A and B are shown apart, each in its own frame.
Chain A
Amino acid sequence: MSVTSKVISFSQDLRERNVKVMLLAMIIAVATVATINAFADHLQRTLMTSASGFLAADRQLNSRTNAPIPEAWYAEAINQGLEVGRMVEFGTMVSNETQFQLVAIKAVDNAYPLRGELEWQANLDGDRETITSGPKPGEVWLNPRLMRLLELQPGDSLEVGATTLKVSGVIVREPDGGFRLSDLAPRVMMHIDDVAATEVIQPGSRVRHRGLFAGNSAALADFESWLEPQLTENYRWINVRQGETLGESLDKAEGFLLLGGSLAVLLAVVAIAVASRQYALSQRDRVALLKTMGLTGKRIRKLYISRLVVWGLISTLIGLMLAIPAAWLLASMTAQLMDQPLQFEVDFWQLWPAILTALVALFAFAYPPIDRLRNTPAMRVFRSLPSNDSSALAKDLLLAVVVIFGLLWVYVNDIVLVMALLGAVIALVVSLAIAGAGLIWILRRFPAGKGSWRLAVIALYRHRNATLSQMSVFAMTIMLAATLILVRSSLLADWQAQLPEDAPNHFLLNIAPESVDEVEAFFNQHQINRSPLYPIIRGRLTEINSQPAVEVALNKDDDELRRELNLTISDSYPDDNQVIAGQWFEADETKGLSIEQSLAESLGVEVGDELGFTVGAEKITATITSIRSVQWDSMRPNFFLIFPPKGAIDGLPSTSLTSFYLAEQDKQLLNDFVRQFPTISVLEIDHIIERIQQIIRQVTQAVEAILVMILLAAIAVMVAVVSATMSERQREGALLRTIGGQQRLLVRATMLEFALIGFLAGILGVLAAEIAVWALQYRMFDGEFRWHWPVVLSMPFISAVILAILGRWQLTPVLTVSPMLLLRRLE
Chain B
Amino acid sequence: MSTDRQPNPSNDFMIEVQNLSHSVDLGTDSLTILQQVNLSIGKGESAAIVGRSGSGKTTLLGLLAGLDLPTSGTVHLDGHLISALSEDERASLRSRRVGFVFQSFQLLPTLSAIENVMLPIELAGLPDARSKAEGLLDRVGLAERMQHTPRQLSGGEQQRVAIARAFAVDPQVLFADEPTGNLDTRTGEAITELLMTLNREQGTTLVMVTHDQQLADRCQRHFVIEAGVLHEKQSDKQTVTAA
Task: List chain A positions with a Cβ less than 8 A from chain B.
Answer: 2-4, 6-7, 12, 15, 285-286, 289-298, 377-379, 381-383, 825, 827
B120 touches A293 (CB 8 A): yes
Q: How many residues of chain B get a CB closer than 8 Å to chain A's CBs?
A: 31
A298 touches B88 (CB 8 A): yes
- Of all chain B residues, the one with the shortest Cβ separation from A9 is B110
Those of B91-126 within 8 Å (CB) of chain A:
91-96, 98, 100, 102, 106, 108, 110-111, 115, 118-120, 122-124
B67 touches A4 (CB 8 A): no
Compute how far the CA of A294 lies from the CA of B119 in the bound complex, rounded to whole angstroms: 11
A290 touches B123 (CB 8 A): yes
B108 touches A294 (CB 8 A): no
B123 touches A297 (CB 8 A): no
Compute how far the CA of A7 lies from the CA of B118 in the bound complex, rounded to whole angstroms: 11
Is B68 in contact with chain A by the CB < 8 A criterion? yes
List 18 A–B pairs whose Cβ atoms lie within 8 Å, in order of A's numbering.
A4-B119, A4-B122, A6-B111, A7-B108, A7-B111, A7-B119, A289-B106, A293-B94, A293-B119, A294-B92, A294-B120, A295-B95, A298-B88, A378-B68, A379-B62, A382-B61, A382-B102, A382-B177
- Of all chain B residues, the one with the shortest Cβ separation from A825 is B151
Is B191 in contact with chain A by the CB < 8 A criterion? no
- Provide the residues of chain B in CB contact with A286, threshold 8 Å: 108
Could you tell me the distance in whole angstroms from the C-beta of A3 to the nearest C-beta in chain B? 4
Q: Mark B120-152, 1 if CB is under 8 A from A, else 0.
A: 101110000100000000000000000000010
- Provide the residues of chain B in CB contact with A382, threshold 8 Å: 58, 61-62, 67, 102, 177
Contact among A3, A285, A295, A379 for B91, CB-based, below 8 A = A295
Could you tell me the distance in whole angstroms from the C-beta of A5 to the nearest C-beta in chain B? 9
- Provide the residues of chain A in CB contact with B61, threshold 8 Å: 382
Compute how far the CA of A825 lies from the CA of B118 in the bound complex, rounded to whole angstroms: 25
Contact among B68, B100, B108 for A377, CB-based, below 8 A = B68
B122 touches A381 (CB 8 A): no
Could you tell me the distance in whole angstroms from the C-beta of A619 to the nearest C-beta in chain B? 94
Is B87 in contact with chain A by the CB < 8 A criterion? yes
Compute how far the CA of A383 lies from the CA of B33 in the bound complex, rounded to whole angstroms: 15
Compute how far the CA of A613 lies from the CA of B108 in the bound complex, rounded to whole angstroms: 94
- Of all chain A residues, the one with the shortest Cβ separation from B67 is A378
- Provide the residues of chain B in CB contact with A4, threshold 8 Å: 119, 122-123
Is B65 in contact with chain A by the CB < 8 A criterion? yes
Compute how far the CA of A3 lies from the CA of B122 in the bound complex, rounded to whole angstroms: 7
B123 touches A293 (CB 8 A): yes
List 16 additional contacts besides A294-B93, A297-B87, A827-B151; criterion CB under 8 Å. A7-B108, A291-B91, A292-B98, A292-B100, A293-B94, A293-B119, A293-B123, A294-B92, A294-B124, A296-B91, A297-B88, A378-B62, A378-B87, A379-B67, A381-B100, A382-B67
Those of B44-83 within 8 Å (CB) of chain A:
58, 61-62, 65, 67-68
Compute how far the CA of A522 lies from the CA of B98 in the bound complex, rounded to whole angstroms: 105
Compute how far the CA of A7 lies from the CA of B79 in the bound complex, rounded to whole angstroms: 32
- Of all chain A residues, the one with the shortest Cβ separation from B117 is A3
Interface centre among B87, B102, B129 (most CB of A within 10 A): B87
Compute how far the CA of A163 lies from the CA of B95 in the bound complex, rounded to whole angstroms: 104
- Say yes or no: A3-B68 contact (C-beta < 8 A), given A289-B108, A295-B123, A382-B58: no
Contact among B58, B122, B124 for A2, CB-based, below 8 A = B122
- Of all chain B residues, the one with the shortest Cβ separation from A292 is B100
- Provide the residues of chain B in CB contact with A377, threshold 8 Å: 67-68
- Provide the residues of chain A in CB contact with B93, threshold 8 Å: 294
Task: List chain B positions with a Cβ less than 8 A from chain A.
Answer: 58, 61-62, 65, 67-68, 87-88, 91-96, 98, 100, 102, 106, 108, 110-111, 115, 118-120, 122-124, 129, 151, 177
- Provide the residues of chain A in CB contact with B58, threshold 8 Å: 382-383
Interface centre among A291, A297, A377 (most CB of B within 10 A): A291
Could you tell me the distance in whole angstroms from the C-beta of A298 to the nearest C-beta in chain B? 7
B67 touches A381 (CB 8 A): yes
Compute how far the CA of A294 lies from the CA of B87 in the bound complex, rounded to whole angstroms: 10
- Say yes or no: A293-B95 contact (C-beta < 8 A), given A7-B111, A381-B67, A383-B58: yes
- 4 pairs of A and B residues whose beta carbons are closest in the complex: A294-B95, A378-B67, A296-B88, A294-B94
- Provide the residues of chain A in CB contact with B177, threshold 8 Å: 382
- Provide the residues of chain B in CB contact with A296, threshold 8 Å: 87-88, 91-92
Interface centre among B92, B94, B106, B110 (most CB of A within 10 A): B110
- Of all chain B residues, the one with the shortest Cβ separation from A380 is B67
- Say yes or no: A294-B123 contact (C-beta < 8 A), given A286-B108, A381-B100, A383-B58: yes
- Provide the residues of chain B in CB contact with A6, threshold 8 Å: 111, 115
- Of all chain A residues, the one with the shortest Cβ separation from B61 is A382
- Of all chain B residues, the one with the shortest Cβ separation from A2 is B122
- Provide the residues of chain A in CB contact with B87, threshold 8 Å: 296-297, 378
Could you tell me the distance in whole angstroms from the C-beta of A307 to the nearest C-beta in chain B? 13
Contact among A12, A292, A825 for B94, CB-based, below 8 A = A292
Compute how far the CA of A381 lies from the CA of B108 in the bound complex, rounded to whole angstroms: 12
Compute how far the CA of A291 lies from the CA of B119 in the bound complex, rounded to whole angstroms: 12
Could you tell me the distance in whole angstroms from the C-beta of B220 to the nearest C-beta in chain A? 24
Compute how far the CA of A289 lies from the CA of B100 in the bound complex, rounded to whole angstroms: 10
- Of all chain B residues, the one with the shortest Cβ separation from A8 is B110
- Say yes or no: A3-B94 contact (C-beta < 8 A), given A290-B123, A294-B124: no
Interface centre among B62, B68, B100, B151 (most CB of A within 10 A): B62
- Say yes or no: A3-B111 contact (C-beta < 8 A), given A294-B124, A296-B88, A296-B92: yes
- Provide the residues of chain B in CB contact with A381, threshold 8 Å: 67, 100, 102, 106
Compute how far the CA of A123 lies from the CA of B55 in the bound complex, rounded to whole angstroms: 107
Interface centre among B93, B96, B106 (most CB of A within 10 A): B106
- Provide the residues of chain A in CB contact with B129, threshold 8 Å: 3
- Provide the residues of chain A in CB contact with B98, threshold 8 Å: 292, 294
- Provide the residues of chain B in CB contact with A294, threshold 8 Å: 91-96, 98, 120, 123-124
Could you tell me the distance in whole angstroms from the C-beta of A572 to the nearest C-beta in chain B? 72
Compute how far the CA of A559 lies from the CA of B43 in the bound complex, rounded to whole angstroms: 107
Compute how far the CA of A286 lies from the CA of B123 in the bound complex, rounded to whole angstroms: 14
Compute how far the CA of A680 lies from the CA of B107 in the bound complex, rounded to whole angstroms: 94
Could you tell me the distance in whole angstroms from the C-beta of B242 to the nearest C-beta in chain A? 23
Compute how far the CA of A825 lies from the CA of B96 in the bound complex, rounded to whole angstroms: 34
- Provide the residues of chain B in CB contact with A825, threshold 8 Å: 151
- Provide the residues of chain A in CB contact with B123, threshold 8 Å: 4, 290, 293-295
- Of all chain B residues, the one with the shortest Cβ separation from A286 is B108
- Of all chain A residues, the one with the shortest Cβ separation from B115 is A3
Compute how far the CA of A774 lies from the CA of B88 in the bound complex, rounded to whole angstroms: 53
Could you tell me the distance in whole angstroms from the C-beta of A279 to the nearest C-beta in chain B? 14
- Provide the residues of chain A in CB contact with B96, threshold 8 Å: 294
Could you tell me the distance in whole angstroms from the C-beta of B62 to the nearest C-beta in chain A? 5
Interface centre among A2, A293, A377, A827 (most CB of B within 10 A): A293
Interface centre among A4, A7, A292 (most CB of B within 10 A): A292
Compute how far the CA of A404 lies from the CA of B118 in the bound complex, rounded to whole angstroms: 43
A15 touches B62 (CB 8 A): no
- Provide the residues of chain B in CB contact with A297, threshold 8 Å: 87-88, 91
Compute how far the CA of A15 lies from the CA of B122 in the bound complex, rounded to whole angstroms: 23
A291 touches B115 (CB 8 A): no
Compute how far the CA of A296 lies from the CA of B100 in the bound complex, rounded to whole angstroms: 17
Contact among B67, B92, B118 for A292, CB-based, below 8 A = B67
